[in-house]
């Protein structure tokens, strides 16, 4: 890897003295973690580099591993790790910046480079005070690192690097301890982060983390903790307890009135970052409940049964940079964009919310008997409209700089999943009655009534499955995607294998390549999430049968029941 060049700007290197004998500055031997993460040039000044000094960011360096082979798993197991350290002491909490109301530093809200479009009103940046989050400069920040301190505080950095981009509901890391932060929510964050690193064991936190959260009084932090637990427990294939945590989160949210339009502003005490945090928490609850309802974990999509009044979240860059968001739009304004004379910018989060709303409509068709074909046609039009009305800046999930808009990635994932839910059970890919009965969890009747020809439904399902494979082909670390991507790829695999089995003994090379890619993604994600390991084995078995025998896969071969308690694809009539 080429070392970054030293910036020539005097602002970034005030004490640099030009060498008249040199045509250009020598490369810096150091680069801070933030500059490395953002792929920016770093002047390597210690203890704070020039760029972090200008932006007020928390500047940290990691110890170089050049000159030796790094930590082996055996050596890592012998080093200090959080396996024996579930709860931090008050001294450790103080080291993380707690209880320091008089120790503030100024964060200059300097926008980072990004291709995301924002409203002109956010060009006026504000200065926000935040307490410093003090951590040892040698603290490990990647899953390959091992703990070099006698605690597990480094897991917070791993949480923000590997999980938060997919579910960004908590305050940005540098604002996390600006106000009292409950230890139980911090433990949930560390529990999640422990899945991403061999330096920590998730089983250290698992025995108590859920029960401790259940004991807490109702608060926004309890909603956040329960919601995050629902995501991670589902990904661990502990779907029953995931559903209980989600149901409890919804209960507390309604108890607090989080679904009301005025709640974020009223409960934030004039803090724009917290107001945005509250908006995001409600909408993340709405999104996760929608997906888990489609996956059969929940039977009733309760957050979708109340008026959608809470204003929409802002763009990720604005929130993560600590800028004051512009006046947030409403769902009604988002829906009206189709007919408006002038286009208005909406965040990626807004399109993700819309994708889940469409998914909710697809799931609701199972209860419609009269006029179901009209509803199917209308939802099909809504799905197509979603794609047509994306702004050009969001038509690609990968930005020009090579980074991925993770929220738009999920929005695209969800809308293609909704397309499969709508079309696959109405297609000619399920001509075997036994297969059809099992895939839709025993439901015949309304959900299988076609609105178009069976062949048209099949083509739409296969197209959506291919689009999900395209998302899997993005050359980015897959573990940073939401774990729900595993479920989406399972849908994609089932559709593509069913399509390939139509032609006995034949699988076109493109289909074979896409299935191979999907299995590879399952393998990579299996290192983090248990659910992926189980699914990978079953998909491999079905793929072998399709390749060798050229027959339609039966549910005896795929055994969805053993993977996800017979509830992965479509919701059932009765309780789980």
Band (pLDDT 50/70/90 cuts) for residue 325 is confident
Asked if residue 254 has pLDDT above 90, the reply is: yes
Which H or E element spans position 206? helix 206-214
pLDDT at 261: 96
524-533 burial code (b ≥16 CB/10 A, e <16): ebbebbebbb
Asked if residue 506 has pLDDT above 70, the reply is: no
Residue 159: inside a domain = no
Residue 270: inside a domain = no
Residue 446: inside a domain = yes
Distance CA 403, CA 171 (A): 21
Block residue for tokens 């068709």:
365
Pair 416, 357: CB distance under 8 Å: no
Number of domains in the chain: 1
DSSP string, 309-324: -SPPP--HHHHHTTPP
pLDDT at 446: 39
Residue 332: inside a domain = no
User: Average pLDDT in the 160-178 region?
Assistant: 93
pLDDT at 9: 36
Q: For residue 394, which of 380, 381, 418, 411 has the smallest C-alpha distance?
A: 411
Band (pLDDT 50/70/90 cuts) for residue 29 is low
For 446, the domain range is: 373-564
Residue 448: inside a domain = yes
Question: pTM above the 0.75 mark?
Answer: no
Residue 557: inside a domain = yes
Q: pLDDT by residue (tens digit) across 183-198? A: 999 999 999 999 999 9
Residue 273: inside a domain = no
Distance CA 262, CA 355 (A): 24
Using CB atoms within 10 Å of the CB of residue 481, give its burial: 0 to 12 exposed, 13 to 18 middle, 19+ buried. buried
Asked if residue 533 has pLDDT above 60, the reply is: yes
Residue 553: inside a domain = yes
User: Could you give the count of Cα atoms lying within 13 Å of 43 in the half-sphere of its Cβ?
Assistant: 21
Pair 114, 399: CB distance under 8 Å: yes
Band (pLDDT 50/70/90 cuts) for residue 19 is very low
């Amino acid at each position: 890897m080429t070392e970054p060049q030293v910036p020539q700007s005097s602002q970034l290197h005030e004490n640099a003295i030009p060498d008249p004998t040199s045509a250009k500055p020598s490369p810096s031997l150091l680069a801070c973690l933030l500059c490395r993460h953002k792929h920016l040039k770093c002047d390597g000044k210690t203890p704070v580099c020039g760029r972090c000094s200008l932006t007020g960011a928390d500047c940290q360096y990691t110890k170089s591993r050049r000159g030796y082979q790094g930590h082996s798993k055996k050596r890592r197991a012998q080093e200090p790790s959080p396996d024996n350290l579930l709860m931090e002491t008050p001294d450790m909490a103080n080291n993380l910046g707690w209880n320091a109301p008089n120790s503030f530093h100024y964060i200059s809200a300097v926008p980072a480079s990004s291709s995301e479009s924002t409203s002109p009103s956010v060009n006026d940046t504000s200065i926000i005070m935040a307490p410093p989050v003090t951590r040892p400069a040698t603290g490990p920040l990647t899953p390959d690192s091992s703990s070099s301190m006698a605690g597990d505080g480094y897991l917070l950095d791993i949480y923000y690097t590997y999980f938060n981009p997919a579910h960004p509901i908590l305050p940005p890391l540098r604002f996390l301890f600006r106000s009292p932060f409950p230890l139980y929510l911090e433990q949930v964050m560390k529990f999640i982060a422990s899945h991403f690193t061999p330096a920590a064991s998730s089983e250290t936190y698992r025995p108590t983390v859920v029960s401790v959260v259940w004991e807490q009084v109702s608060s926004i932090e309890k909603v956040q903790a329960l919601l995050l637990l629902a995501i991670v427990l589902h990904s661990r294939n502990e779907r029953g307890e995931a559903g209980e945590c989600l149901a409890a989160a919804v209960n507390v949210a309604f108890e607090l009135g989080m679904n009301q339009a005025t709640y974020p502003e009223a409960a934030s005490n004039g803090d724009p970052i917290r107001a945005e945090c509250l908006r995001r928490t409600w909408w993340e609850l709405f999104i996760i409940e929608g997906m888990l309802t489609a996956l059969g974990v929940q039977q009733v999509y309760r957050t979708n049964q109340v008026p959608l009044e809470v204003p929409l979240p802002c763009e990720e860059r604005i929130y993560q940079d600590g800028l004051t968001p512009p006046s947030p739009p409403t769902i009604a304004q988002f829906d009206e964009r189709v007919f408006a004379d002038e286009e208005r910018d909406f965040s990626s989060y807004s399109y993700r919310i819309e994708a889940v709303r469409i998914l909710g409509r697809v799931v609701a068709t199972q209860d419609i008997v009269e006029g179901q074909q009209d509803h199917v046609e209308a939802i099909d039009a809504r799905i197509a409209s979603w794609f047509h009305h994306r702004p050009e800046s969001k038509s690609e999930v990968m930005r020009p700089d090579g980074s991925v808009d993770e929220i738009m990635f999920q929005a695209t994932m969800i809308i293609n999943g909704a397309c499969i839910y709508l079309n696959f059970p109405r297609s000619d890919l399920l001509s075997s009655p036994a297969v059809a009965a099992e895939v839709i969890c025993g439901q015949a009747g309304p959900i299988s009534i076609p609105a178009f020809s069976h062949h048209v439904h099949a083509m739409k399902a296969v197209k959506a499955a291919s689009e999900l494979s395209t998302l899997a082909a993005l050359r980015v670390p897959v573990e940073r995607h939401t774990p729900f991507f595993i479920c989406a790829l399972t849908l994609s695999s089932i559709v593509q294998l069913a399509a390939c089995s139509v032609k006995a003994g034949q699988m076109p090379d493109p289909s074979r390549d896409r299935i191979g890619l999907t299995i590879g993604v399952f393998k990579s994600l299996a290192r983090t999430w248990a659910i992926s390991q189980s699914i990978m084995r079953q998909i491999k078995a079905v793929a072998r049968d399709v390749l060798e025998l050229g027959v339609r896969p039966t549910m005896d071969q795929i055994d969805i029941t053993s993977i996800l308690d017979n509830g992965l694809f479509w919701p059932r009539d009765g309780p789980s």
